[in-house]
Amino acid sequence: MRDDPTCLSTMTPRTPEPTNAQAGGIRLCTHSARQLDACTKAFFGHMERLGLRQCLEQSLDACPGVSASPAPGSHHLTRSFQLRADLARVWAPERDTTALHEHAVLDATPSADDLEREIVLAMLLSPLPFDFPDYGELAAALRIRHNIVVAARKTALAFHTSEAERPEDCWRYLEGKGFVIKPGCELIASLVKATQPEVSGKLYSFSCYRATEYVLLLAIAQELERSNPAMLARLQLQWEQRPIMSGQFHDVFLHEYGSMQAPLPPKYYVPGDRLWFRNPDEHSSDASGYEGSWVFYLGGGLFTNFWKRERPYTLTSKCVEVFHWRHATFTDSAGDLRIQEDIVEQRVSQTLADRAQTAAVMQTMLRLRDPQGVYAAGGCIDTSREYPRRVYPATT
């Protein structure tokens, strides 16, 4: 049972009167009252199956405001859903979702249902609304986030800041284009083989940023196989010819929510979010691969560690690691700035063993990051997070 037994009981759901207040959380945006009612009914049924129906508050809005997933078009009739205020105060004070699994008594190594519950609860706590045009797109988004977490937990890489390699039986390198899939090799299987050593039998070297793209693409492709096979076929062809990477990958596949002007709370994360921990030290950030660290939030207060998969980061251990990069720099024989990882590990262990020292580091690192190019009083916490766009044929 969770902290509030009424939340997961079979008692009659508490349904507040709709209001006109703009709110965050999960928001259904439709063109008609009939469609909105049908989507709401389907969503409530989903929440009943997860035991979360009694955790919801809702509000009815005339038209969308600022959104975590903006969509073009005219005004819509919308209904927003949030976590009940009394539960939010206890389970996620100041929208800190890193201990949500503990307060809601979710499993620390979540089952499929518990992981989905944590995803839903965190989305309900969002200060910005996650907009969905129908229930199907919402259900797909939950499945994609689940896919991301599962794939990210299985992903392991060989550590190297300048080399890149892929399984040679299904990938080949094309100058000016990057690694493409060989004809006859399936996109999903090729992504799995490149990132999951249980399948390939080997760890492959590539950057943590590119690894996050592979995990995201895999999660999207797995959902497309179910909900939009035609789009999956287009992705397959695209990766056989020229992969979409870096800034273009972000623009094509992802929503970014939060900004420097309207930052997300420092400890607000949804399982499946991609995020960046910035290195706030100007000198050590010049070392290749140490400008910052791209990770996924796995839920349960944990973040990916692609180099040592069996040791995922907590928010504290990640912040402390990034902090100590500044204490392990050296210049190699080619004149390039490098980081000595064994010194970082030693420093991290010493700091984490000293509660006062850890608190002092965290006081600095938990600050929101400075703007790009600025190294002043900011910490390592980014102001935004990222997650995949819509995938259904009519609404992608």
Same domain, 162 and 123: no
Instruction: Grade residue 25 by pLDDT with cuts at 50, 70 and 90.
Output: very high
Same domain, 158 and 250: yes
Distance CA 379, CA 311 (A): 23
In the block, tokens 């390939």 appear at 200
12-21 mean pLDDT: 37
Quick: pLDDT tens for 247-286: 999 999 999 999 999 999 999 999 999 999 999 999 999 9
What pLDDT shows up at residue 62?
A: 53
Range of the domain at 243: 151-257
Total structural domains in the chain? 3
What pLDDT shows up at residue 322?
A: 97
Q: Choose one of 103, 133, 163: the last residue of a domain.
A: 133
Q: Are 139 and 226 in contact (CB under 8 A)?
A: no
Residue 125 falls inside a structural domain: yes
Choose among 104, 107, 109: nearest CA to 125. 104
Q: Is the pLDDT of residue 21 over 50?
A: no
Quick: pLDDT tens for 345-373: 999 999 999 999 999 999 999 999 999 99
Residue 126 falls inside a structural domain: yes
Stated pTM of the model: 0.90
Same domain, 249 and 328: no
Instruction: Grade residue 308 by pLDDT with cuts at 50, 70 and 90.
Output: very high
Q: Choose one of 224, 257, 290: the last residue of a domain.
A: 257
Same domain, 161 and 193: yes
Percent of the chain with pLDDT over 70: 88
Same domain, 283 and 366: yes
Supply the angle between the helices 112-124 and 33-50 in degrees, to the nearest 10: 130
46-61 mean pLDDT: 89
Residue 18 falls inside a structural domain: no
What pLDDT shows up at residue 68?
A: 64
What pLDDT shows up at residue 207?
A: 84
Residue type, 14: R
Q: Is the pLDDT of residue 164 over 90?
A: no
Same domain, 326 and 282: yes
What pLDDT shows up at residue 124?
A: 97
Percent of the chain with pLDDT over 90: 78
- Determine how many CB atoms are found less than 10 A away from the CB of residue 389: 15
Same domain, 158 and 211: yes
Q: Are 140 and 40 in contact (CB under 8 A)?
A: no
Quick: pLDDT tens for 109-149: 556 689 999 999 999 999 999 999 999 999 999 999 999 99
Residue 395 falls inside a structural domain: no
Residue 78 falls inside a structural domain: yes
Residue 77 falls inside a structural domain: yes
Average per-residue pLDDT for the chain: 89
Distance CA 298, CA 181 (A): 28
Residue 142 falls inside a structural domain: no
Residue 5 falls inside a structural domain: no
Residue type, 329: T
Q: Is the pLDDT of residue 327 over 70?
A: yes
